[in-house]
Amino acid sequence: MVIIMLGAPGTGKGTVAGILTSKLGIPQVSTGDIFRKHIKEQTELGKLAESYISKGQLVPDDVTIDLVKNRLKDSDVQNGIILDGFPRTVKQAEELDKILNKEGKKVDIVINLTTPEEEIIERIVNRRVCSNQDCKTIYNLVLNPPKQEGICDKCGHELIQRKDDNVETVKSRLENYFELTSTLVEYYEKQGKIYSALVSKAINKLGEDVAEDIVKYIENLK
């Protein structure tokens, strides 16, 4: 099964995708994590990605498409994949369809998460991530704080704040997201593959609750 996670930064895509991975046994692949790994290692791809990400801009399509195309060849995703952060444009979606078609596969469901903008900003500014690349557990200092300040509950590694998790960059990222991906939602709506869900503390429905609803929906599709 091929699942795509859509949603602006801070809507909880990573949280929901992580729960789906646990429940469905399908690997989560985040282009953001792959880019951050390259940035940390200061590879040529990492330097190129950082020049865009640090300004709140999206990495160019051709770079991102090649990255995902290579990842889809790995053995661990042959029976299913949850794509988090890709595609983000119609061009990327079209290329993904072509790549999957060659393998006799298709996109099965596109999960579109929405959250009020003021909540998104609050979440991202208070977001902390485990520095252990094998863990990468996400916390929120307000909604889901760690038991011990600055330390991951699961593995004991230090929690860090991503460099781009600040108000100015977040607003820029949101502007870019809505400008470029509104047509992407339409693209998948026409295919009848969109599952939309509101993630908001205003209705007392956060990532864990939404993930449970999605699992039930997917089970009914089988």
Cα–Cα distance list, 64 to 42, 47, 142 (Å): 17, 14, 33
| List 36, 88, 123, 136, catalytic entry | 88
Let me know if 162 is a catalytic residue: yes
Known catalytic residue: 173?
Answer: yes
Q: Looking at 123, 128, 136, 173, which residue is catalytic?
A: 173
- Which helix H or strand E contains 12, and what residues bound it? none
Q: Considering 13, 36, 123, 128, which one is annotated as catalytic?
A: 13
Does the active-site annotation cover 105? no
Cβ burial 180-194 (10 Å sphere, 16+ → b, else e): ebeebbebbeeeebb
71 flagged as catalytic: no
Is 36 a catalytic site residue?
Answer: no
* Helix/strand/coil for 205: strand
Q: How far apart are the C-alpha atoms of 141 and 79, rounded to whole Å?
A: 36
Give yes or no for a contact between 201 and 126, defined as CB atoms under 8 angstroms apart: no
Out of 23, 91, 105, 162, which one is annotated catalytic?
Answer: 162
Instruction: Point out the catalytic residue in the list 36, 123, 127, 128.
Output: 127
Query: How many whole angstroms separate alpha carbon 115 and alpha carbon 197?
Result: 9
Residues with a known catalytic role: 13, 88, 127, 162, 173
